[in-house]
Amino acid sequence: MIFFDFFKSSPRSLFLEYSPQDANWHVITWNFDLKNLHERLWTLEIQGKNDQVIEWSKTKDEEIRFFRKNKLFRKKDVKSSRNEYRDLMNVSVHATLKHGLDLYKDFLLEPYPGATSTDYQNEMKALQWIQASFGTLFRALDQFKTRPDLILTAAVFSGLEPQTGRKVLRVMAFNLDIFCYFQDDMSLQVTIFDDKNLGHGGAKSPTFQQNIKVTKPQIYDEIIKLVHKIATVGEIV
């Protein structure tokens, strides 16, 4: 029985038990809130039917930590099976992101009642602004290919915001803090803060804010591209 219990709670089995489909709040972070400047930290968190957190921590050595209900459940040095655990962690990150992004498929296809040609014209300008701003982020992320000294600091939150219960997708990358609220009237409220030279949360007024009615799929597609790029750059190698 002791042997069976140990096998059941092995890291491999715990990864298989991790299920973002059963969660209503998903959080993925890369190197946020580091207590040790030499540490690298990937975290996955889901809240809902089962609250779980998985952390991959790297200083001199690497270990995986599993938390349930805010309590450490199991941890393991990954040396003996690093490639397997690395792949499981990377797959879990991508699976969590995909599920968080897919939550809003039906919303994006549902038309906003009463949208006008003026809405469309204004939203095309918004789309151009977002493409230009995200282009700067893409160029910064491309530097990670040849600059191993760079440290990615980013986060993605998706689902029912715990504090408000609102449906949200939030992406934090470099100086931009991007909020997408999925409104009851079927509009997509996009609010972007630029925290340049201020630190995360420093900007009190948004750089961009608009309710998107007609071009919801196009705007959201730009955000999906950004999230995908962050996830690819942030993979454990």
Print pLDDT tens along the chain (237 aa). 344 444 456 778 888 889 898 899 999 999 988 888 889 999 999 998 889 999 999 988 999 999 998 899 899 999 888 999 999 999 999 999 999 999 999 999 999 998 899 999 999 999 999 999 999 999 999 999 899 889 999 999 999 999 999 999 999 998 899 999 999 999 999 999 997 655 665 566 899 999 999 999 999 999 999 999 999 999 999
Closest C-alpha to 82, from 59, 62, 57: 62
pTM: 0.90
Quickly list DSSP for 8-60.
HTSHHHHHHH--GGGEEEEEEEES-S-SSTT-EEEEEEEEESS-EEEEEEESS
Q: Residue 89 falls within a domain, yes or no?
A: no
CB 234 within 8 A of CB 30: yes
How many domains does the chain contain in total?
Answer: 2
Same domain? 114 vs 179: yes
Give residue 3's pLDDT. Answer: 42
The predicted structure's pLDDT at residue 26: 96
Judgement on whether residues 199 and 129 belong to the same structural domain of the protein: yes
Q: Strand, coil or helix: what is 36?
A: coil
Q: Is residue 17 part of a domain?
A: yes
pLDDT at 198: 53
Helix (H) or strand (E) holding 194: strand 188-194
Burial of 63 (0-12, 13-18, 19+ CB in 10 A): middle
- Asked if 45 and 154 sit in the same domain, the reply is no
Same domain, 66 and 127: no
Residue ranges making up the domain that contains 64 = 2-78
Distance in angstroms (rounded) separating the CA atoms of residues 140 and 174: 9
Amino acid at 127: L
At residue 133, the pLDDT reads: 93
Answer yes or no: do 221 and 120 share one domain. yes
Q: Is residue 229 part of a domain?
A: yes
* 57 and 9 housed in the same domain: yes
Is the same domain home to 167 and 206?
yes
Domain co-membership, 121 together with 222: yes
Among 78, 93, 128, identify where a domain stops. Answer: 78
What pLDDT is attached to residue 5? 44
Domain match, 144 and 220 both? yes
**pLDDT given for residue 114 in this prediction:** 87
Tokens of 104: 């809003």
Question: Are residues 210 and 137 both part of a single domain?
Answer: yes
